Amino acid sequence: MTAQTASVRQTARSLVTGITRDPALVEQAQRLRYQVFSAEYDSDLGASTPGLDADAFDALCDHLIVTDQRTGTLVATTRILPAERVPSVHQLYSAGEFDLSALAGLPGSLAELGRTCVHPEHRNGATIALLWSTLAEYLVQHRIDYLIGCASIGMSDGGHRAWRIANHLQETYLAGESFRVTPRRELPHLTQTTPADRPVEVPPLIRAYMRLGARVCGAPCWDPEFRCADLLVLLEVEKLSARYSRHFMGKAS
């Protein structure tokens, strides 16, 4: 880790986490993002630099990274953008997909989570728990009241799976009326093709959001560039799931 890495706090076996804005480490995160997203969504992501998933928001964000100390390989990442770094919520990344007007007047501080990914060989409970526990610590230490972000579902089958998952999440984890948003590009409605009694397989990262205590803010948006369906999720940090808040709330000062 370099001097620009703000913290290195958690370890699990050979994994170490940090918060960074170091350009070299951010580029590693961008390469991992491209590797994961281009494979999962069968898209070149509109990349201007081959092999990099990069945009103008990266320079504004704090990047949470998980590295395997044995190899020095970056295996998981997400980025956090405190809303105070942009003029208004309408300049957040999510505003390109959703009308965020309902969130503009929220009391307290807000941050946006984005570009979360885990290398396929590290998609296990330990890595994801480490990622989210470090995120929880960041939220508490920076006194963030609300966290929002786009949770993506692949559409390799044309969107049937995405609709089924989105409907399940809205039925089970829907946020209150004051947090509802409207997608700018509605996901085309599809006829049910999967038996209703078949279990809904929610992607691991979205399950992790829900375990933290997050809720979905309404209907999904269609993202043609990533070829996926996005749901806006919102976490009230005060209601952070007890498994995380008990450990971290005591550290806040």
The domain that contains 115 carries what CATH number?
3.40.630.30
Question: pTM for the whole thing?
Answer: 0.86
Among the listed residues 214, 249, 247, the one whose alpha carbon sits nearest the alpha carbon of residue 231: 214
Q: Which of 29-43, 191-205, 223-237 has the lowest mean pLDDT?
A: 191-205
Q: Into how many domains does the chain fold?
A: 1
> Any idea what the Cα angle at residue 65 is, between residues 210 and 39, rounded to 5°?
75
> pLDDT category, 245, cuts 50, 70, 90?
low
Token digits of residue 106: 């929220």
User: From CA 26, how far away is CA 35, in angstroms rounded?
Assistant: 14
Q: Judge whether 232 and 217 are in contact, CB under 8 Å.
A: yes
User: From CA 83, how far away is CA 77, in angstroms rounded?
Assistant: 19
Token digits of residue 126: 């330990």
Q: Which residues contact 178 (CB under 8 A, 6 or more apart)?
A: 102
User: From CA 231, how far away is CA 181, in angstroms rounded?
Assistant: 10
Report which of residues 240 and 114 the model is more confident about: 114
Q: Which of 42-56, 80-94, 215-229 has the lowest mean pLDDT?
A: 42-56
Q: What is the pLDDT of residue 174?
A: 97
Q: Judge whether 204 and 126 are in contact, CB under 8 Å.
A: no
Q: What is the pLDDT of residue 158?
A: 80
Among the listed residues 29, 7, 27, the one whose alpha carbon sits nearest the alpha carbon of residue 19: 7
Give the residue-averaged pLDDT of 100-108: 94
**Structural domain containing residue 41:** 5-251
Task: With H, G, I as helix, E, B as strand and everything else as coil, classify residue 76.
Answer: strand
Q: Judge whether 111 and 82 are in contact, CB under 8 Å.
A: yes
